[in-house]
Amino acid sequence: MALGSSRWWQEGVIYHIYLRSFADSDGDGLGDLLGLISRLDHLNGRPDSLGIDAIWLSPCFPSPDRDFGYDVSDYTTIDPRYGTLADFDQLIREAHARGIRVLLDLVFNHTSDQHAWFRESRASRRNPRRDWYVWADPRPGLLGRRPPNNWQSAFGGRAWTWDAARQQYYYHMFLPEQPDLNWHNPEVRRALMGAARFWLERGVDGFRLDVFNAWFEDASLRSNPPRLGARGFDRQVHLHDIDQPEMMPALAEFRSLLDASPGRTSVGELFGQDPVRAASYSGVDRLHMVFNFEFTSSSWRPRGFIDSVTRWEAALSEDAWPCYVLSNHDVSRHVTRYGGRHADAVAKVAAALTLTLRGTPFLYYGEEVGLPDIHLPRSLILDPPGRRYWPIYPGRDVARAPMPWEAGVHGGFTRGCPWLPLHPSYPYRNVELQRRDPDSVWTFYRALLRLRREQAALRRGDFRPLVASPGDGLIYLRSEGPDAALVALNFRAHPTRLPTDARLEAGQWQLALSSLGSPSAAIERDGIMLGPHEAAIFISR
């Protein structure tokens, strides 16, 4: 299947796979590359496939797994638990044959403390990699040595750990086992660009960059100003440990590497939720896209969503491109956050929202079947922040349960013991059952994705809100030349009439898709009638 335009990422839909939870081929309880290959037809390549355009894989590099792959010990091979380089090459071939591009997750802010670079760096102050990480002498204090400044770890506690061999502190924004690389060192930057080039030469179509705006720290290691907050990390204004001015030249260097290979793309994970700051990192000589995470923490209110979209659109430059995400491996799944007693109905409305906005949608594995969070006792929690802050914060495991493929043992995910339990709903909430159900969440996702592919207005069109007062729902117009699509979303569990601030002529529109088996959507002159939790998409005649 042809892969098409070099700007595919502006029109495509990207599917986020948490690899260890997707499909296990060898019965060890961990998802792997061969398991993923066996499930590619679910994603694309057949008439009955879901219909996505690309997959983004969570880290599959060797790792001690203190942070489940986000502590990398070798950037240029595959963790044996997930497969081999030959398996990865097969994945690229098989995915491309189905019209699926492949993005890798690059964790370039830090490595594992087991990486050969850090082992050499900590061995002495005279070795060739002595300044590949952020090392600093202690501050003197009345009670002995103190860390170089007041920086806090995002996972709790001080961001500095004393190393007896070097008689210095090293910096880690996350766990002590995740020392931060020194991006001020040009040798470090060359090594990381070389790692990215290694995967590009193997056919990778792009990268997601983990916490990229934390690559640089203030060279003078100045302390952050204080502010009110619940955790130590939240009680600081992060003025000197993220978003340093050296970021822009580094992103330009990374972008030039990608641009040398046509059709490659990038998306960045920003540390924080500031859409203006996120937008500043997207565009020519910067990243192709940067996540705006406001949707991952917003409540189920139309006003909040439309305000977020409006802020995002206003902040983006002409050469930047938006992208949207409702769930990922770090946050509670949106069906749990929003769904309540109407989880499947809300899942469909949320899908219609994210798949019809101007921008690239990112889907998280399992959301196409309405997969909710799994609730775990502390004894089963593996995530480091979850174990530290439970029960106030249950951690990220809740959003990482294995994919439910069928109603059989372990949901068809593994023939062994899964690394995390499946959600107990898997006997009646799984891919196999939902593919056969014309009213299922999966069937609606597939129909939405097909409609999006068919309608240029939904992929490339301008975005214009039409709802007069977004109390119960949203109406917006997408238009591309003579083509137009009208999207109406009812956020409530009762029938609703949504007034518009534009005059509508019913004869000019045809209902193309509704989330209800028996659609209620009807266009009136100055509004649209919708059934309970109905998502309706009209196409211009």
Q: What domains sit in the chain, N to C, each tagged with a CATH number?
A: 8-111+186-450 (3.20.20.80), 461-540 (2.60.40.1180)
Distance of CA 338 to the CA centre of its chain: 18
Task: Compute φ and ψ for 252, nearest 5 degrees.
Answer: -60, -40
So what's the pLDDT on residue 92? 99
Task: List, as one string, the DSSP characters of 443-466.
Answer: HHHHHHHHHHHH-HHHHH-EEEE-
What burial letters (b/e) apply to 286-319, b meaning 16+ CB within 10 Å?
bbbbbbbbbbbebebebeebbebbebbbebbeee
Asked if residues 288 and 256 have their Cβ atoms less than 8 Å apart, the reply is no
For 176-241, give the DSSP string.
TTSPBB-TTSHHHHHHHHHHHHHHHHTT--EEEETTGGGS---TT-PPPPB---SSTGGGB--SSS
Q: Are strands 462-465 and 473-480 parallel, antiparallel or unpaired?
A: antiparallel
* Per annotation, catalytic residue among 105, 269, 472, 534: 269
pLDDT for 4: 63
Separation CA 61–CA 25 (nearest Å): 18
Q: How far apart are CA 241 and CA 426, in angstroms?
A: 42
- Strand 496-499 to strand 527-530: parallel, antiparallel, or no bridges (unpaired)? antiparallel
487 contacts 302 by C-beta, under 8 angstroms: no
Neighbours of 94 (CB within 10 A): 17
Q: How high is the pLDDT of residue 1?
A: 59
Q: Among candidates 436, 317, 442, which has minimal Cα distance to 371?
A: 442
Check 32, 210, 243, 383 and give the catalytic one: 210
What's the pLDDT at 315?
Answer: 95
pLDDT for position 501:
84
Which residue is it, tokens 């098989």? 94
Give the Cα separation of 179 and 190 in Å (integer): 18
pTM above 0.95, yes or no: yes
Nearest partner of 294 among 268, 324, 318, judged by Cα: 324
Tell me what pLDDT residue 6 has.
78
* Residue 503: predicted pLDDT: 86
Show Cβ contacts of residue 315 under 8 Å, excluding neighbours closer than 6 positions: 275, 276, 278, 279, 280
Q: What are 184's two structure tokens?
A: 């001020």
Query: What would the two tokens of residue 176 be?
Result: 């002590």
Averaged over successive runs of 10 residues, the pLDDT of the chain (541 residues) comes to 78 98 99 99 98 98 98 99 99 99 99 99 97 96 89 96 98 98 99 99 98 98 95 94 98 98 96 88 97 93 95 94 97 95 97 98 99 96 92 94 98 98 98 98 99 97 90 96 96 96 90 97 94 98 89
Report d(CA 70, CA 6) in Å as an integer.
29
Class of residue 415 by CB neighbours under 10 A (exposed 0-12, middle 13-18, buried 19+) = middle
- Residue 210 annotated in active site: yes
Give CA–CA dist 202/263, Å, rounded. Answer: 14
Side chain identity at residue 484, one-letter code: A
Closest CA to 329 of 266, 388, 373: 373
What letter does residue 27 receive in the DSSP assignment?
S
Is residue 530 classed as helix, strand or coil in its secondary structure? strand
Which tokens in the block code for residue 536? 């309706």
